[in-house]
Chain A
Amino acid sequence: MLIYTLRRLAFGVILFVLVSLITFWLLSFSFDDAVTARLGPAASPETTAALMRELGLDRPVMLQYFDWLAHVVQGDLGKSFFTGEPVASAVPARMGVTLSIVVPALLISVAISVILGVTAAARGGVVDKVVQGMMLFGYLVPNLLVAIFFVVLFAIQLHLLPATGFTPFSKDPAAWARSVTIPIIALVVAGAANISNQIRGAMIDELRRDYVRTLRTRGISPMSIVIRHALRNAAGPALTVFGFEFITMFGGALIIEQVFALPGYGIYSFNSALENDFPVILGLTVFGVFLTVGVNLVTDLANGWLNPKARIH
């Protein structure tokens, strides 16, 4: 188990380096645009060249990359071109806000999905049809529309929840809860639809297996078979889906943040992209990749724990 973990970690590090390298290289094509943007169209070529030298953007790309990487390894992600804020502290703060919506949304989605998916697969019939209908609804309506719909309903019409704005948990937990409720609901609707579909499919497949029939012939109760056996077997593939869904939700959150004016990862990415603020963009990429690799690692490990056969790989 330990070797398995270490191998996965090493794998993750290599992926991280490759992704950051490719992103750096792609962005390098617009380094000069950033400089011109900052200086304005009237800048003379000398000023432009001077600024580029000052920011270190005139060196060969690979050199710049390794320089940046060396700093990253030491924990220094540079400073924003525009605000001068150290990236290493600014980005995690924003990440925290986004995660405070995504993580609860994922947990709630998983809880709802397990209940819906397992029930639909095990019961079949009318219950199954109803659940499928609910899933379809979740699929049909894009995140965006759900978010706006809820804002209109809860904030504008009913005045129950704030339409925009975010209160940090540390300042006032109750206000925090109110400010994240609608964003979380918006994410859950789509997330639960997807996850419950996967779980339902996985459970239906699992319940058709031979060992389920043999367990029945031993007189074991259907509830026990569904939850202790089928669910545990279906959990492996399901976990992989959770991982993907987390990343997708993270993406969805970026848009939701715009609607609700939440100072999270999304808005920060959006602004820095428009302003060509490269240290911030790269810093966001670094944390984004950490997240992706981390989530994949966790699902792999959990899969290994759940399914003894998977550990051989």
Chain B
Amino acid sequence: MGRIVLVTGVSRYLGGRMAALLAQDPDVETVIGVDVLAPDPGVPGVQIVRADIRNPVIAKVMGEARVDTVVHMGTIATPRQAGGRSTMKEINVIGTMQLLSACQRTPSVESLVVKSTSAVYGSGPKDPAKFAEDMEPRHPPTSGWPKDSVEVESYVRGFSRRRPDVSVTTLRLARVLGPRMRTSMTAYFSMKVVPTPLGYDPRMQFVHEDDVLGAIQAAVHRRAHGPINVAGDGVLLLSQALLRAGRPILPVIAPLLPSVGRALAPRSLVDFSTEGMRYLQYGRALDTTAMRENLGFVPAYTTAEAFSDFLQGGRTSQEVNTVG
């Protein structure tokens, strides 16, 4: 009678933890983890299927296991992690399309949870102080991971129209921070000298990695329909964050920042692309009313707490680490 959940992207950090967490869930009977690579230490209680979601074989897996819930976490945010921008785009967009077509073909699917990003709102001077889910972006993203996510979301909306019986939740996450996450943002905050855009002090919002898992779990249970913003309460200014981190700050005029940044940290994951730069200039904050009301989820960490937990490398972690 329990639910059968398929999680994509299990070989990656968040995907692996999510699958393990769902495996412990009393309402969940089986968790099937899908990824191109098998997760290195293995995930306890999770059946691993080595498959590429860009391949139609995924539909067969779903049909045979009579999957009822699909948690899509198999998108990649940085080209380095994917092995190049074109591979990244293919995994993100084509992978999602294949997964959605498999979902459409599988009558047992009742619920789909997609991990997306608040970067779909873009960043710019015309932005409202806080984005709610129904607001149109004023500066739509034009490249990279944010653009991929816009496309992923549009395919997800299309799927939702074709299968109105399936509950579809799209979680638009603020920047994820935590003691173990490695993202372009953590790489930026870990630079020895941090270049900042001169004359700008953006508002940033973070969500703790544990809260991401909590929000996805809430979405699996609650089946809230539509896009939902997920972020820790409050905002941090870039200057505040860097002062708290005790990092030396190097203000650079905005047009020169990418070159200075790349020179300072040539091999890091930091995103100095157009979109990354816009975020460093204008930031972004989210309205999280729907997260509380529709999803019934309250994050354990505020933005400031998530940041300080990242700084302290997990020493303030309140929750048990579900993986190993």
User: Do A and B share a complex?
Assistant: no
Binding site for A on B (CB under 8 A): none
Binding site for B on A (CB under 8 A): none
